[in-house]
Structure 1
Amino acid sequence: MNTHYHAGFWRRFGAAILDGLIIGIPLAIISLIIFGKGDTLFTNIVSFLYSLLIPIVWNGYTIGKKICGIKIKRLDGMPIGIGTMLLRQLVGGLIYGFTFGIALIVSAFMVGLREDKRAIHDFIAGTVVVHDGEE
């Protein structure tokens, strides 16, 4: 796989910000209406399900990734499935949480400095984030 097409830190960060705004704001409003507060278990569950399921049904994209022209791919070329995304989101997220965010900071440096632009959760799941059109 040509590393020229691997998405770097700023593009991935921008996609994450866009996803947070596009999904987070409506969820906070819905949560506020339903529960009387903007940050609830409901918003966390729906956000997690969004990041877990949308790339599966939308060929590696989330809304933010689509806008930024990047997508998640498996290294072996197979389609992204629930197992891949559970490893990427759940196991990766647990590692980031258990290390109190230190692994997240390490991942950010990995994406910024490594030639293949892969973070810890990419290694766990066997994925890479690439620019559109990279096959």
Structure 2
Amino acid sequence: MDHVIKPAGFWIRLLGNLLDGVIVSIPLTLIVFLLTGEVNENDPVISILGFIYTVAVPILWSGYTIGKRIVGVRIVKVNGKKLGIGAMLLRVLVAGIVYSLTLGIALIVSLFMVVFRKDKRSLHDLMAGTYVTYAKPHEMEDKHTVAS
């Protein structure tokens, strides 16, 4: 059964994403500069490493990224199962394609969804079967054990 526990809203999610952007992009840019001797913000190496970070870190770190951990939220599956590569690829890659193809209109719709929906789920959350929560990993286990 699907349960949404302590959903995180727009502003905290935005802050987590902004922190990730700053915390991850500065070291990546520095590493690429040290390796190549130049800084190019459109460097594909930075984009690829950023994508890997966005997909892999939440899988390996109970739904957290560095920015989300700082603000106390994380990505989880609605069904209570472990976050995996499929969900994260849907959430990041497929949603990114949808947002691009709709020229950002779907992104604006997503923002309104996070603001106005009770469960705070965006389009990419719905696609991936995920949501962003304040609940810690042990709280989720307790809730899903009781609900089962």
TM-score range, shorter chain: over 0.9
Q: What residue in structure 2 maps to residue 37 of structure 1?
A: 39
The alignment's TM-score, normalised by the length of structure 1, stands at: 0.93
- Secondary structure at the counterpart of residue 30 of structure 1: helix
Q: In the alignment, is residue 111 of structure 1 matched against residue 114 of structure 2?
A: yes
- Structure 2 unmatched runs, 5+: 141-148
Q: What residue in structure 2 maps to residue 12 of structure 1?
A: 13
- Structure 1 unmatched runs, 5+: none
Deviation at 1:111, TM superposition (A): 0.6
Deviation at 1:34, TM superposition (A): 2.6
- Secondary structure at the counterpart of residue 64 of structure 2: coil
Q: What residue in structure 1 maps to residue 95 of structure 2?
A: 92
Q: Which has the larger radius of gyration?
A: 2
CA RMSD of aligned residues (A): 1.3
Q: What residue in structure 2 maps to residue 78 of structure 1?
A: 81
8 Å CA contact 2:4–2:78 kept in 1: the answer is no
Alignment-mate amino acid for residue 121 of structure 1? H
- Secondary structure at the counterpart of residue 118 of structure 1: coil
- Secondary structure at the counterpart of residue 46 of structure 2: helix
Q: Identity of paired residues, percent?
A: 46
Distance 1:24 1:100 in 2: 24
Distance 1:105 1:2 in 2: 22
The alignment's TM-score, normalised by the length of structure 2, stands at: 0.86
Distance 1:29 1:18 in 2: 17
Moved more, 120-129 or 32-41: 32-41
Deviation at 1:100, TM superposition (A): 1.5
Q: Deviations over 1:79-127 (max 9, x none)?
A: 0011111111111111011111111111111111111100100000000
Count of aligned residue pairs for this structure pair: 134
Deviation at 1:2, TM superposition (A): 5.1
- Secondary structure at the counterpart of residue 129 of structure 1: strand
Distance 1:107 1:33 in 2: 38
8 Å CA contact 1:29–1:38 kept in 2: the answer is no
